[in-house]
Amino acid sequence: MDGLSVVIVGGGAGLGELLARMAVEAGVTGLGIIDIDGNAAATALEPARAKGLPVASASADIQAGPECHEAFAAMVAGLGRVDTLINCAAIYPRRPILEITDAEWDASNGVNIKGTYHMMVAAIGHMKEQEPKDHVRGRIVNLTSVDAFKAHPQNAHYAATKAAVVSLTRSFAHHVAGDGILVNSVAPAGMATERARALGFLGELAKASPLGRGALPTEIAEWVLMTGGPKNTYMTGENVIVSGGYIYA
């Protein structure tokens, strides 16, 4: 991420917070975080502040389009330029396929699809007007999931939203290619996180993977940063699957 200014949506905790720390280590020139928890967003910026980097944080419920646009405007005001947007915010409400409620559908669609959509629209409005670096005016990376490509009756609404994000990624990539904006997605399999440990998923992850383990969060984060980083100057509309052989594409 050397030389780029980066904004992470959902950067207050989990993979997003890890991405924020790793982006600082990788040499970003500025860091912004948008999260529904404003305090968490501000705290996640501490490594960037410690290095004296420009920072910006905003609290937003990304289910609402106006909040997305206001939050991104705050990023531009604080950082001046945004080179990379990483859409990491999502909810994961497990429920058997025949028991999903309207409220759960609406929440999943609102955060995972609408939020991603509105954040991309807000970012593109800014990126298309800035001067390119190595032919690229901006990069967007959306976090999807291998669940978008397999049957998932225990979490069908989540899987459906992630399939929708893959489709949105391709449509946006095609639409803004002429503006020099690259739009890609990264689809991880299950990660060996503390939450997965607490919920008892680690054994399930190990059995599902040919490598015999779930992914380390850093192993996923490296691919996200590479896809949104300065070395990617030509790939767009792609979905990078990082699954340890869980699925092949």
Catalytic annotation, residues: 158
Using DSSP bridges, classify how beta strands 55-59 and 239-242 pair: parallel, antiparallel or unpaired: unpaired
**CA-CA-CA-CA dihedral for 26, 28, 32, 34, to nearest 10:** -30
**Terminal C-alpha separation, the chain:** 27
- Quick one: which H or E segment has residue 124? helix 116-127
* Cβ-contact 215, 242 below 8 angstroms: yes
CA–centroid distance for 68 within its chain? 14
Q: Is the dihedral of CA 169, 172, 174, 177 positive or negative?
A: negative
CA atoms within 13 A on the CB side of 83: 25
Residue 179's SS3 state is: helix
Who's near 247: CB < 8 A, 6+ residues apart?
146, 149, 150, 189, 241
Q: How many CB atoms lie within 10 A of CB 179?
A: 14
DSSP result, 181-194: EEEEEEEE--B--H
Q: Which residue has the tokens 């054994």?
A: 203
